[in-house]
Structure 1
Amino acid sequence: MKRLWWFSAFFLLYELTVYLTNDMIMPGMPSVMAEFGGPSRYIGLSLSLYILGGCTLQIGLGPLADRIGKRRVMLGGAAFFLLATALVPMAGSAPQFLAIRFFQGMGSCFIFIGYAAIHELFDDTRAVKLTTLMGNTTVFAPLIGPVAGSAVISVFDWRAVFVTAFVLGAVAWLGLARTMPAGGGKPLAAGDKSLTASYRAIFTNRTFMLGILVAGLAITPLTAWIGLSPAILLQHGGASYGTYIAWQCAIFVGFVLSTFAIGRMGGELPLGRLLRQGGVLAVVGLGGAGFAAGQPQLFIACMFVFSAGFGLFNGALIRIALTATGQSMSLTSAAMSLLYCLYIALGLELYNAICERFGYTLQAYALCGVPVALAVCAGLFHIARGHDARVRDAVAGLPDLA
């Protein structure tokens, strides 16, 4: 068990590095585009391409992990990420920078391998608590990234961000090589029919498809904020790095607090209740932010509430979606990662197009979140009802041992 926890720690470091690489460079993106002569929309496009890179290999990686083992695939993917990270500083133009960022984003394709291993190695409660805690990497990166990135860029060239990421990634790779268990999961039967049937079962499962859609919708406003806030606050708003950092920390700390609260819960987690409570906070926070953009302090407070709600329901939502199909966890996680990245990238580009149309104002960003909030809340309540009904049916079907 001790080795499993060390594996989880080094996998957490790898995931943190993948996300931190992006968030450390975000405050420096205006400088990158100024050096290469790129327009403001390239700032958001850089993140979109990074995310799209993260969904290019999923369908093939799932069966590959089942055939040759998750450990080999995970280590190979981490090595590929290190190679791409080393190439980013060598970019000589904006198109080259964007192209390499796409390939660097492929490093996130392999994150689902680690999550699949964790869901197989731990029971429901431990898996939800651990993956919820690990999900904080997507939040710690926006918290730590702007601070660390601003510090690095203020002293060194922006390329030093990727040197830092390479060092962290190398430590993670060495740790994974020593601690990640071999094997895991049941190998698929040879032949395309078995694989096709498995993916058909996954992509036709309503709970899975709705769950991942809602998860993708829910994280899009936070991802859009990460990608567009440098243009909104720094480039067009004239804010200082200090103000930019303060906004990031105030908004994303809600996610950190709520996920830590889940980690401290004892006993079996009430997944349906987490979805409902998180959904209410999400619609109040994101919906309120849409109408409070003219008052920065109130906007920040509302976004804090939204991020807290997201942290409350995200782990439970992913767990329900992943376990609904009854298929290989590797294949299900691969399908989830593919859809998740596509939804986020499409949503981010929609945000980017709308914000570009209205001059990257805070109001344009904020109003985009109102319909998203309503859709997310409705989806969460629907999934919670279905989950609670399945739990009641399962309990009713247990034999009476009295």
Structure 2
Amino acid sequence: MKRLWWFAVFFLLYELTVYLTNDMIMPGMPRVMAEFGGPSRYIGLSLSLYILGGCTLQIVLGPLADRIGKRRVMLGGAAFFLLATALVPLAQSATQFLAIRFFQGMGSCFIFIGYAAIHELFDDTRAVKLTTLMGNTTVFAPLIGPVAGSAVVAVLDWRAVFVTAFVLGAAAWLGLHRTMPAEATPRPRANVAQLAAGYRAIFTNRTFMLGILVAGLAITPLTAWIGLSPAILLQHGGASHGTYIAWQCAIFVGFVLSTFAIQRLGGELPLGRLLRQGGLLALAGLGGAGLLHGQPGLFIAGMFVFSAGFGLFNGALIRIALTATGQSMSLTSAAMSLLYCLYIALGLEMYNAVCERFGYALQAYALCGIPVALAVCAGLFHLARGYDARVRGTVPVAA
């Protein structure tokens, strides 16, 4: 069991590095675009392409992991991420920078392999707590990234960000190599018909499809803030790096606090209740931020409440979606990661288009969140009702 926990630690480091790589460069993106002569919309596009890179290999990685083992796929993917990270500083134009960032984003394709291993190796309560804790990487990165990235670009060239990421990624790879368990026996090669049947069962499962749609919608406002806040605050708002850092920390610390609270809960976690309570917080926070955007302090408070609600329901939502299909966890996780990245990238580009149309004003970003909040809350309550019914045994698991 000790080795399993160390595997979780090094997987957490790898996931953190993948996200931190992006978030450290965000405060330096205005400088990158100034050096290459790229427009403001390329700042958000850089993140969109990074996310899209993270969904390009999902369909083949699931079967590959089942065939040759999750350990080999995870280590190969981490090595590919290191190679792409080393190439980013060599970019000579905005187009090259964006293209390499797309390939670097493929490193996140392999994160679902680690999540699948966690869900297979641990029981419900430990799996939810671990995935909730690991979900903090998406928040710690925006907390740590702007601070570290601003410090780096203040004294060094922006390329130093990727040198730092390479060192962290190398440490994660070495740790995974030593601690990630291998499957005892590889599974037989799956034929095309079997794979098609498995993916058809997954993509026709209503609980899974709705759960991932809601998860993608829910994280989009936070992802859009990461991608667009340099343009909103630094380029067009005239804010200092200190103000940018303060806003990031105030908004994302809500996620950290709520997920730490979940870690302290003992016994079985009430997944349905987490969805409902988190959904109400998300609605109040994101809706309030949209309505009160004219007062920066209230906008930040609303985003804090939203991120706290997201941290409350995110782990439970992913658990319910992943376990609803009855299919291989590798295939299910691959399908989840594919849809999740597509939804986030699409949502981010919609935010980017609206914000570009209105000159990257805070108001444009804030108002986009109101319909998102309503849709997320409605979806969470629907999923909570279905989950509670399944627990009572009134409907089949894969309904």
What TM-score does the superposition give when structure 1 sets the normalisation length?
Answer: 0.97
What SS is found at the alignment partner of 1:157?
coil
Cα drift, residue 393 of structure 1? 1.3
Per-residue CA deviation, residues 228-284 of structure 1 (Å, 9 max, x unaligned), is 000000000000000000000000000000000001000000000000000000000
Tell me whether 1:340 sits opposite 2:340 in the alignment.
yes
Q: Distance in 2 between matches of 1:304 and 1:24?
A: 21
Alpha-carbon separation, structure 2, partners of 1:184 and 1:38: 50
Q: CA deviation at 1:191?
A: 1.3
- Return the alpha-carbon distance in structure 2 between the equivalents of residues 246 and 34 of structure 1: 24
Aligned equivalent of 1:153: 153
Q: Please give the alpha-carbon distance, in whole angstroms, between the structure 2 residues aligned to 1:321 and 1:188.
A: 26
What is the deviation of 1:187?
Answer: 2.6
Question: What is the alpha-carbon distance in structure 2 between the residues aligned to residue 394 and residue 181 of structure 1?
Answer: 37
Q: Which amino acid aligns with 1:385?
A: R
5 Å matches for 1:216-255? 216-255=216-255
Runs of 4+ aligned residues of structure 1 deviating over 4 Å after TM superposition are none
> In the alignment, residue 337 of structure 2 is paired with which amino acid?
S
Matches within 5 A, 1:37-116: 37-116=37-116
Q: Within 2, Cα distance between the matches of 1:190 and 1:159?
A: 43
Task: Provide the aligned C-alpha RMSD in A.
Answer: 1.3
Q: Which residue of 2 aligns with 1:318?
A: 318
Shift of 1:184: 7.0
Residue 394 of structure 1: how far off its partner (Å)? 7.0
Distance (whole Å) between structure 1 residues aligned to residue 185 and residue 104 of structure 2: 27
Kept in 2, the 8 Å contact 1:11–1:176? The answer is yes
Q: Which moved more, 1:175-184 or 1:67-76?
A: 175-184
Residue type at the aligned position of 2:255: F
* Separation of aligned partners in 2, 1:337 and 1:19: 15
Aligned to 2:356: 356
Aligned length: 396
Structure-2 residue corresponding to 1:376? 376
- Give the CA deviation at 1:185: 9.2
1:28 maps to a residue whose letter is G
Checking the alignment, whether the CA contact within 8 Å between 1:120 and 1:184 is kept in structure 2 is: no
In structure 1, C-alpha distance between the alignment counterparts of 2:136 and 2:176, rounded to whole Å: 20
The letter for the 1-side match of 2:328 is S
> Which has the higher mean CA deviation after the structures are superposed, 378-387 or 188-197?
188-197
Deviations 1:116-154 (A, max 9, x none): 000000000000001100100000000000000001111
Distance (whole Å) between structure 2 residues aligned to residue 394 and residue 152 of structure 1: 56
2:290 aligns to what?
290
Indicate how the Cα distance of structure 1 residues 319 and 184 shifts in structure 2: closer, same or farther if over 3 A, else same: farther
CA 1:56–1:146 in structure 2 vs 1: closer, same or farther (change >3 Å)?
Answer: same
Aligned equivalents of 2:63, 2:130: Cα separation in 1: 25
Tell me which residue corresponds to 1:399: none
Per-residue CA deviation, residues 306-355 of structure 1 (Å, 9 max, x unaligned), is 00000000000000000000000000000000000000000000000000
User: Under a length normalisation based on structure 2, what TM-score does the superposition of the two structures give?
Assistant: 0.98
1:24 aligns to what? Answer: 24
Question: Do the aligned residues in 2 keep the contact of 1:27 with 1:146 (CA within 8 Å)?
Answer: yes
Q: Is the Cα contact below 8 Å between 1:70 and 1:184 reproduced in 2? A: no
Structure 2 residue runs of 5 or longer lacking an equivalent are: none
185 and 201 in structure 1: CA distance in 2 versus 1, 3 angstrom threshold: farther
Distance in 2 of aligned mates of 1:184 and 1:212: 31
Structure 2 Cα separation of the partners of residues 196 and 353 of structure 1? 36
Decide whether aligned partners of structure 1 residues 36 and 347 sit closer, same or farther in structure 2, where only a CA change above 3 A counts. same
Q: Percent identity?
A: 89
Query: Could you tell me whether the CA contact under 8 Å between 1:231 and 1:360 is conserved in 2?
Result: yes
Asked if the contact 2:278/2:309 (under 8 Å) is kept, the reply is yes
Distance 1:184 1:344, change over 3 A: farther
Aligned to 2:119: 119
Distance 1:11 1:297 in 2: 36
Q: In structure 2, what residue type is equivalent to 1:69?
A: G
**Take 1:188 and 1:345, find their aligned partners in 2: how far apart are those partners?**
35
User: What do the CA deviations read for 1:212-242 (whole angstroms, capped 9, x no partner)?
Assistant: 0000000000000000000000000000000
The separation in 2 between residues aligned to 1:186 and 1:355, in whole angstroms, is 49
Q: Indicate conservation of the 8 Å contact 2:389/2:395, yes or no.
A: no
Q: Tell me which amino acid in the other structure corresponds to 2:8.
A: S
Cα distance in 2 between the residues matched to 1:188 and 1:305: 48
Cα distance in structure 1, aligned partners of 2:246 and 2:188 = 49
**Residues of 1 paired with 2:127 and 2:349: CA distance?**
32
| 2:223 partner letter | T
Counterpart CA distance in 1 for 2:188 and 2:343 is 28
Paired residues of 2:202 and 2:325 also in contact (CA < 8 A): yes
Q: Which residue of 1 aligns with 2:386?
A: 386
Q: Unaligned stretches of 5+ in structure 1?
A: 397-402
Q: Work out whether residues 63 and 195 of structure 2, in 8 Å CA contact, stay in contact via their aligned partners in 1.
A: yes
Determine if contact 2:63/2:190 at 8 Å carries over to the other structure.
no
CA separation of 1:16 and 1:185: change in aligned 2, threshold 3 A? farther
Please give the per-residue CA displacement for 1:12-44, whole angstroms capped at 9, x wherever unaligned.
000000000000000000000000000000000
2:163 corresponds to which residue?
Answer: 163
